[in-house]
Amino acid sequence: MDAEQMLSSLSNVTDETEFYAPMPAGYKPGKTKYVIVFGTVMSGLGKGIFSSSLAKCLQDKGLTVAPMKLEGYLNVDSGTLNPYRHGEVFVLDDGMETDMDLGTYERMLDQDLSRLHFATSGQIFTRVLDKERKGSYLGRDVQMIPHVTGEVKIKLRELAVVTDADVVFVEIGGTVGDVENAYFIEAMRELAFEEGPDSCAFVALTYIISPPMLGEQKSKAAQLGIKRLLAAGIQPHILACRGREPVSHKVREKLALYSNVRIENVFSMHDSESIYLIPDMLRGAGLDEAVIKLLKIEDRIHPESETAARQAWNDFVQRIRSAKREIRIGIMGKYTSVRDSYASIIHALEHAGTNQGCHVQIEWVDTTDVTDETAGQVLAHVDGIIVPGGFGIRGTEGKIACIKHARENGLPYLGLCYGFQMAVIEFARNVCGLEDANSTELDQDTPHAVIDILPEQKQIEGLGGNMRLGGRDMLIKPNTQAWRLFNGAPEIRMRFRHRYEVDPKYIERLEAGGMVFSGKAPDYPIMQILELPVEVHPYFIGTQAHPELQSRPLRPQPLFMGLVRAALDYSDRRQERTARQSGTKAAKSAK
């Protein structure tokens, strides 16, 4: 049953009762338990990493888990948000544009998520207003409580039905005290009331300040934050205290006293050297067991599955620690100062690097002032480059200059979406002789619009949700690099977020110049992967898709694996060259 059918099956709105506890068809009360994570004191504490790590601990025990992110903002999705302010837009296979935390969940849980796992206030209100227009509230005045909060509960229960989850993990964006989040918190209170005892575990993530001038940990800010939660009618069962250092017993005692949480349920979640160590840190502290006890699901656990899952994960962590080599990858980006806007790329490089036994050092390159003349110098110290996704004109000529340098000098190249389009433009101009070739996104009057707006996009107006979005199948041309990287699979699937594409009218010309289109859409002439043959260049690949969104710690994405392998080779050659050069210099000065 899909979400719409489920909605129409909700029939318990009547004018005879104040209760509004909508249960989608197929919902089995008691089957699904809920872990609800609230943030207090401040945002940016790593709530997503914490929640996903806790969810992973339970998943490792053989439980089915389903994360849900609730966002207070009124945007209908995250597509119109500036990644500079908000971090990258994470695109799900079904095309939903979400908050970057969904990426954290997909990676941690190695699970593809859908729009059912993400709700914003914009979506909730749209659904309420749609129902109101259809008369679904039967003459009632539509209120924040119970109707808007009811809609939140419907979202959670829908997710429970569709995923048949043992535990739904709810993460509420922002912090307790944000006006936007107030009704989410109220909805959680109602949920626990309706679902009954042992159904919901409330976890408050808080922060322990240690001002350097005092040299001790202070708990007042945390106490006040938790008080707000209590005032909203939520008694937390567990406190997870973030902080630089392990939280002292004294501070934990104080928090326990002020918030009615037993001290054994007040956990220190201090900084860790790597996010991949957090699941084991939670387990070590006993947080997973505390949740299981609270929810009374001891009988659903499979300890043998936990041993195997932990082993595989710990092998991965061990490989990060024992990696000996280092490569440097340059990322040419507009948002160079904000790592969150490229989170998935950074993770994809880390997954591939770990697999290949190396650390990937990222060099951020602002391309605004780079030219053909300076590109060589700018890229002298890197072993490979990535031109990531992007919009608008800033820095594009510099990116094209970097791609030219990479192409002509055997420097490994991976182009992601915009980077694919830039590679086509560079090739058209400098190899195929199409002077001033460009994308119409950058130059409306270009004589050779090798990249142009997709025909299907031409009719769409407005900024939100107007791109070619989500997972699409792709046919892979046999005996190409892409084909080898994907282990000979004839068809693969990648995720997209774009409006422009290669104009089919230039394909023949580009191919005649030596460019190979090794990935294509099955039904339309949409070029999705390009490459140069290995005889010409060791690794020059671009894709119209966003492969970074699909990389997982234990299943690195093939195009990133290819880049890292090529960069390792390049780094060997670079070091040999440097050694040779300093040898010649030393010989000369000895003379």
Q: Which of 482, 369, 497, 501 is nearest to 425 (CA)?
A: 501
Among 34, 118, 500, 540, binds ligand GLN (CB under 6 A): 500
Of the two residues 67 and 415, which places its CB atom closer to ligand GLN in the complex?
Answer: 415
Q: What track of x and - describes contact with ligand GLN for positions 438 through 467 (by CB under 6 A)?
A: ---x--------------------------
For residue 528, give the amino acid letter.
Answer: Q
Say how far apart CA 236 and CA 283 lie, in whole Å: 20
Q: Which residues contact 467 (CB under 8 A, 6 or more apart)?
A: 79, 457, 496, 497, 498, 499
Residue from 200, 241, 417, 432 carrying the catalytic annotation: 417
In the complex, residue closest to ligand GLN by CB: 389
Regarding 84 and contact with ligand GLN (CB under 6 A), the answer is no
Closest CB 54 distance from ligand GLN, rounded Å: 32
Number of residues in contact with ligand GLN under rule CB under 6 A: 10
Say how far apart CA 566 and CA 73 lie, in whole Å: 42
Is the bond preceding 146 in cis, omega lying within 30 degrees of 0? yes
Closest CB 41 distance from ligand GLN, rounded Å: 35
Active site residue 548: yes
Map 480-545 to HEC letters: CHHHHHCCCCCEEEEEEEECEEECHHHHHHHHHCCCEEEEECCCCCCEEEEECCCCCCCCEEEECC
Regarding 97 and contact with ligand GLN (CB under 6 A), the answer is no
Q: CA-CA distances (angstroms) from residue 233 to 127, 143, 154, 191, 294?
A: 26, 19, 20, 12, 18
Active site residue 147: no
Closest CB 441 distance from ligand GLN, rounded Å: 5
Please provide the DSSP assignment of 341-371 as one string. Answer: GGHHHHHHHHHHHHHTTEEEEEEEE--TT--
Q: CA-CA distances (angstroms) from residue 276 to 56, 291, 435?
A: 11, 20, 49
Regarding 425 and contact with ligand GLN (CB under 6 A), the answer is no
Interface with ligand GLN by CB under 6 A: which range of 184-192, 331-339, 400-408, 496-504? 496-504
Of the two residues 219 and 421, which places its CB atom closer to ligand GLN in the complex?
Answer: 421
Closest CB 236 distance from ligand GLN, rounded Å: 40
Interface with ligand GLN by CB under 6 A: which range of 178-186, 350-358, 475-483, 497-505? 497-505
| Beta pairing, strands 325-332 & 384-387 | parallel
- Contact positions with ligand GLN (CB under 6 A) in 362-421: 389-391, 417-418
Active site residue 511: no
Regarding 127 and contact with ligand GLN (CB under 6 A), the answer is no
Half-sphere exposure of 130 (CA within 13 A, CB side): 10
Q: What track of x and - describes contact with ligand GLN for positions 174 through 213 (by CB under 6 A)?
A: ----------------------------------------
Please provide the DSSP assignment of 445-458 as one string. Answer: T-S-EEEEE-HHHH
Closest CB 494 distance from ligand GLN, rounded Å: 12
Regarding 103 and contact with ligand GLN (CB under 6 A), the answer is no
Residues that bind ligand GLN (CB under 6 A): 389-391, 417-418, 441, 497-500
Which residues are annotated as catalytic? 417, 546, 548
